[in-house]
Structure 1
């Protein structure tokens, strides 16, 4: 059972607390963190877009944000309201979620909808998540078949709001937590006995990488709270790239310092490494760096 946290909303003065608590979840269990992050992101999205039904939430609701490949699902408006049909990949918590925010292509653009995740209108497809890393996140493809849906905001509202990028920073906080969890194995080994100069050098490198990641997350929290309505696109891209690089370095350094032993004999550690490796690929790698470069070419970076 995943204990869903009640986190402060981003941009309301306690964004640092939100990010720190997401990181703590990631350090303990990346799968649980991934599902919890989707839920708290959905809460924030609904609040920002003024979903009137958010006040009617009842205990036991577990939300996901299923927004990959938005045009893969089609939204049609008829006499009985909106209906969604189509296959949506990458639906983390495909069975666990009771409700989801789903993007879909409508005649007037890409829209966001609230949908109940239940048969026969929403069906996770077997065989669509054969993953090893993040296996327990159950991120299968979900098939929507004439699913009743409630619109949240207007066309384009999901990606056009500043909070879209605040959510991206939240994901980076989860990656940071995953990096902390992997680093814990090296720190514990160094405290049990002297692991030798090379392993200690790797531990020092891990500290530097994680320190840089924590600094950019704390800076992002301060900036988001100072101006919640500012365009945070460039900020989020920079934070995500920094944290991704730090977490990747941690995986490499811990592996080089400790060898194959923990990966082969410590189930918790090997699972953390596999989970973090997959989770980091939610980044678009060079594609995100290209976006950042284009933004910098158009604006004063104020380095």
Structure 2
């Protein structure tokens, strides 16, 4: 396979961002850590000190780094992304003055903490928060119940978790996953052949101390929630690039026929659309964060961008499979893992359900013009 190299969302002539690590080094570090969760966690802590936050004016550089991780190894990217996302959430809540100084001490957070973010809900699983106070008088809560889809819950030290603080209201909490009241459930097996080192199962909590992060509803309704979702899409894009590079390698190695050229062209068109959508979204995020009115609702932006990138990833998977046939899928471990990992990862986009949500938002408000229900 080709040596690791970065994934860009804009031409190199657009210039690098000062203070951001060299993307080639990011790709090499991810390749070196491939498949190794512990190495990926070390890389996550390292990158957190150098990568910009979303909305900081360098969102494109952040998403290029995430895409570069995805192209190198999706397991590494799947470990790094929630750690960075959690730190971005904490940075925002602190900047908004919604987290008292020293509040996280109650759950043992230090510079060596590694993070997951668990906001999914599922049938038969409900995590409830009961208000309490710690010895210093800080507001805390005790969490009891089950939380589904908790990736790496047995490997990371801490998590940001949504829990029900009322009949129909959720709030975000920071928890120490090493607490005796936390049990990583073993009654759900990970049957997938993709992302086998980053399994996602339920976690049971019983009277686990937790620190509220923002008021009720803050986490899910802030613009940063949508921005984080686009960051995940940047990783899907990188994963698709990684798969597509195998097709390009074959075309360079053996004279392609007309069908092979058609597949190569289809892949390039799909990746170009995804790259353009991500680059535009990064510009909108930074403009919005700087106080410039873009007229684009963050949720609409995220759903659009994720849809474009997810469809591009599916297009790449289909055309590369048709072009290369069964041999790479059955005889090349790296390519087979890339394909299986991407197939699982991209299903975080909920396909037609997300399309329906986007349609509903457009009719409700979206960024529609005054003379019609849609912006086109």
Q: Is the shorter-chain TM-score for this pair beyond 0.5, marking a shared fold?
A: yes
Task: Kindly state the Cα deviation for residue 127 of structure 1 after the two structures are TM-superposed.
Answer: 4.3
Question: Mean alpha-carbon deviation: is it higher for 134-143 or for 209-218?
Answer: 134-143
SS of residue matched to 2:194: coil
Contact map agreement 1:110 1:155 (CA 8 A) in 2: yes
- State the Cα deviation string for residues 96-154 of structure 1 (Å, max 9, x = none): 21100000011372110000111422121124233221111121211112111000001
Deviating more after overlay: 82-91 vs 48-57: 48-57
Q: Which moved more, 1:208-217 or 1:81-90?
A: 81-90
Structure 2 counterparts to residues 14-53 of structure 1, below 5 A: 14-50=58-94, 51=99, 52-53=101-102
CA contact (8 A) 1:95 1:138 kept: no
Partner of 2:331: 265
Instruction: State the 1:92 CA deviation.
Output: 1.1
C-alpha separation between the residues in 2 aligned to 1:125 and 1:73?
14
Equivalent of 1:111 in 171, 188, 193: 171
Length-normalised TM-score, structure 1? 0.95
Alignment of 1:129-208 (within 5 A): 129-208=190-269
Instruction: Work out the CA distance in 1 between the residues paired with 2:180 and 2:263.
Output: 52
Query: Residues 230-262 of structure 1, C-alpha deviation per residue, up to 9 Å, x if partnerless?
Result: 731101100000000000000000000000111
1:120 is matched with 180
Q: Structure 1 residues 79 and 58 mapped into 2: Cα distance closer, same or farther (>3 Å)? A: closer
Partner of residue 215, structure 1: 276
Match of 1:99 in 2: 158
Indicate if the aligned counterparts of 2:86 and 2:115 stay in contact, CA closer than 8 A. yes
Larger mean CA deviation between 253-262 and 106-115 belongs to 106-115
Q: 1:69 aligns with which of 121, 126, 132?
A: 121
User: Which secondary structure does the structure 2 equivalent of 1:106 belong to?
Assistant: strand
1:55 deviates by 9.1
Gaps of 5+ in 1: none
Moved more, 75-84 or 276-285: 75-84
Aligned equivalents of 1:241, 1:53: Cα separation in 2: 40
SS at the partner of 2:348? coil
1:232 pairs with 2:298: yes
Number of equivalences: 303
User: Higher relative contact order at CA 8 Å, sep ≥6: structure 1 or structure 2?
Assistant: 1
